[in-house]
Structure 1
Amino acid sequence: MNAPRHPLKRRSRRRSRFTPARLGVYAFLLTSALFFLLPLYVMLVTSVKPMTEIRLGNILSLPMHFTLDAWRVAWQSACTGLDCQGIQVGFWNSVRIVVPSTVLSILVGAVNGYALSFWKPRGASTLFAILLMGAFIPVQVMVYPLVRVLATVHLFSSLPGIVVIHTIFGMPVMTLLFRNYYAALPHELFQAARVDGGGFWRIFLQLMVPMSTPIIVVAIIMQVTGIWNDFVLGLVFAGTKNLPMTVQLNNIINTTTGERLYNVNMAATILTSMVPLVIYFVSGRWFVRGIASGAVKG
């Protein structure tokens, strides 16, 4: 029969959990959290303060008179140049840009990754290397050639034009993700489907797509957040009638007549970043699962 453990030993073990290394990790995590959360806190409290409180200069203090007037102005009536319809115009423009761009780039990347993983046409390695290089080319290098090409085909400054641009720039990364994911799948599944008479599209639609849910979630998160946060491509290619929310936010902040309304600017900034924040908070768990299930393998 085992002898009972001495209570002093239990206490010493409990105390030993708080080692200097563990305390250092906790201190680092707390400092990092404060570093990233402090700007968000300042933006939130400033957006719900009236300008009379903001002029006092106490940016960290809680509002004495809570108000959502700045949020209503930012959404409905803030001026972006000569247009005073608020940032809601840019929101719906961003939605119209993000949805087709995300669907098309993921579809093209999935087909490319599937072809490069299982069918491997002649020159597949060279094609994959070229696509991989495209993922690291700066956007600014390709802006002028793309402007000339889109102007030639009459797509410059239009909604289809900006959708095509985001699809092109998203294709290398999406191809890399799907190719590495499919390369980690058992090759016997593909061989069995080929023996059963499956062709290129039948195997892709009936076998690969149902197995691709984790990587599709990762791709959706990456594309939606990347396209939503884009500024340069939307400014250059979207045209004045289709400017995304980020460009509208820049116009609101830089359009000043008289007093600068910091509460309206902060509210507009939070509204612009709301979609990426919600996506990361809601789907972060699926993002980690998708990465762990093969998104960066191969």
Structure 2
Amino acid sequence: KIPGKEEYVMDMELQFGVLQYVHNCVHKKLSVSFRLVPRAHKLSPTPSVFPFILLSDNSVGLETKKISGFFSKNVNVPFSLRILLAQNCDNWENALKKRGKKVEEKAGFLIECCLYHGSIELCKKRSGLSETGAFMETVRLMDVSSLPLTSRLCFTLWGYSNAKKAQASRLAMEVDLGQVDGFVPLGWTNFNLFEFDGRLRSGSHTLRLWPDEACNPLGAPTQNLDRSSPNFTIIIPAASHPIYFECPSFIAGKNVYNKKVKKDEADEWAKAKSIGRPADTPSPRGERGGIGQR
């Protein structure tokens, strides 16, 4: 565990030198230290962002174990993901030099993320900076209830040669980074949010980029098969049950919970977290929570 942060190193093959924490300690000439914690202490690779819970059998009116999932239209929670480590970016400095860009000491990477429906931008762009490629960035976008069925995430990985310009460009996300001196696109990729069966995707995904170009919202959501291409990993938190886009062909034979979660139920869940009560412990009202922590 990284001291003072809720960040854990789960991969024993990971080179510690790529971690932003280690990089900062070395730069400031501070000692690098970690805390050893049992793996069982951190069962999930990333916490869930869904604050709702499944109610008790009586309040739902059916057995919770028989519920197949939720409708996305009822999930008024921002869709979020965590961007982890970018890899195979060893030649990015050469790409900068080929374009006549001077590589400075504090050069690094910027990853850009946005939601699209066709060519329509659904929300403001989000980005993360890293001098080593270890972003560990949590990105929150629009509510799950507003996601179209064919919505997709569009990513661009940039190399930058000037840390101050990169930070300024990150704060002004309306800027086209392709027109900013010192930036070069290392690759792009698209990622569909819903599976072919209408289920919202979750879990860990490694995305291999199409090199040397910026975001293409109309490009195919397929991955580059070249394993040597630049890539990065994202984690999409899961709810207690699958989330489906409402469509008769998708939900045939599924018992989907078709009610919005009430605000007081979400508040009860937040209160339980604040006092440290486990999610499966009966609340003062006699209800039981499902999986789902922020």
Q: TM-score, normalised by structure 2?
A: 0.22
Answer 1 or 2: higher relative contact order, Cα 8 Å, separation at least 6.
1
Q: Given the two structures, how large is their TM-score scaled by the length of structure 1?
A: 0.21
Q: Which has the larger share of helix?
A: 1
